[in-house]
Structure 1
Amino acid sequence: MARVLLAEDDPTISEPLARALRREGYEVDVRENGEAALAGAKENPDVVVLDLGLPKIDGLEVCRRLRAAGRTVPVLILTARADEVDTVVGLDAGADDYVTKPFRLAELLARVRALLRRSPTDAATVAPLVRIDADARRAFFGDDELQLTAKEFDLLRVLVREQGKVVSREQLMREIWETAWFGSTKTLDMHVSVLRRKLGDDASSPRFITTVRGVGFRFEPGAGD
């Protein structure tokens, strides 16, 4: 039975959400402030659902402290702040995903399921010359550690995890930036371009990241041999 740490101080949200999670078969530990959430995280939950507006210690600081302590538990943040900048700050603090209040219960449960499915297989992903340590959020090219931003790391992690397969632009945008996304992929293209440079890749004759026109990108598992 997966354990969910639910850190939410508003009982009108935490109580029905906890009931819904329990109906899904999860064990749920509800905490009402940031200090209690950090204490609950020591009991090794499988996923943390974390409100940003917690009393005592806010959710951003809770997330930062979890990551600073080396805790790799997936974190889904709940935020009443619709501003994109606030959401980006939360993700850069180490959160894996976010839901904006008011949220649809079915969507939140789907996000929790996705985080639980993804986390066990990501701990150590290896391709020739490139190694991802998702627990430590570190990436290596040969013996050298790559200096990546949070989004560059997430992009490389997904591509290496799906090595040999085409990963669509929509999937990359959904996993790394938003759940549902439509529109320009300039942001994604920019991150792919920078990531290629850091891997010593040439877009005209790539060794690692290949563009599949009209679909997305493929990380070549035998690249660099």
Structure 2
Amino acid sequence: MQVRNEGARPLQLRLYLSDYDQAEDGAYLFHEPGTARGTCQGRISFFPDNALLEPGQRQEIQVRIEPGAGACWSLLFIESAPEGTGQVRVANRIGVRVLNAPASLPRDGGLAEVRASQSDSVRVEMLFRNTGPAPVELHGTLEIRDLAGTAVVSAQVGPLGVLPAHSRRFTTTLPALPPGDYLAVPVLDFGAEWLAAGQALLTVRRR
């Protein structure tokens, strides 16, 4: 990968690894390298670990992951030197997800919950459980259908990453619908030989 100094002054960077986990809402939880389940510590190397970039200069970062029997995941942080004066100094950093999973690992999981409601808009809350040993990425569509099966409105879902043995709760919002009975039908691809699907009844009442 490459980093580039888009600013007008020289930029000092340092690179370092961090373990991470994800909460059900997708929030990142950071840990010291080598301490979390699924860490890539010992399997990942990168070069260089620091760089000084002049304005407009690019730097190639080489990242190598040794193959293993199972999946691993870590974050590679790229952090600038703190800037500012006095007691307030600010450093910027970005995190690059590094995931490795053998192609032979099965993908397994499914939608455990689908809930639909309407106030000012239609909200469909979904819960996906990754029960397999590999990280997966969700993407697909959500359709709101009438009871005859005709799609009334639809939206794209994802992409959303889910770590092994983790769940991910997420919500998709669509325009408000007129009174009536509908079905919310999500269909998600997560890299398995089948699609994850579900449905929930949505009743919109007259106000």
TM-score interval for Structure 1 and Structure 2 normalised by the shorter chain: under 0.3
| Structure with the larger strand share | 2
| Bigger CA radius of gyration | 2
TM-score (norm 2): 0.28
Q: Whose RCO is larger (CA < 8 A, sep 6+)?
A: 2
TM-score (norm 1): 0.26
| Structure with the larger helix share | 1
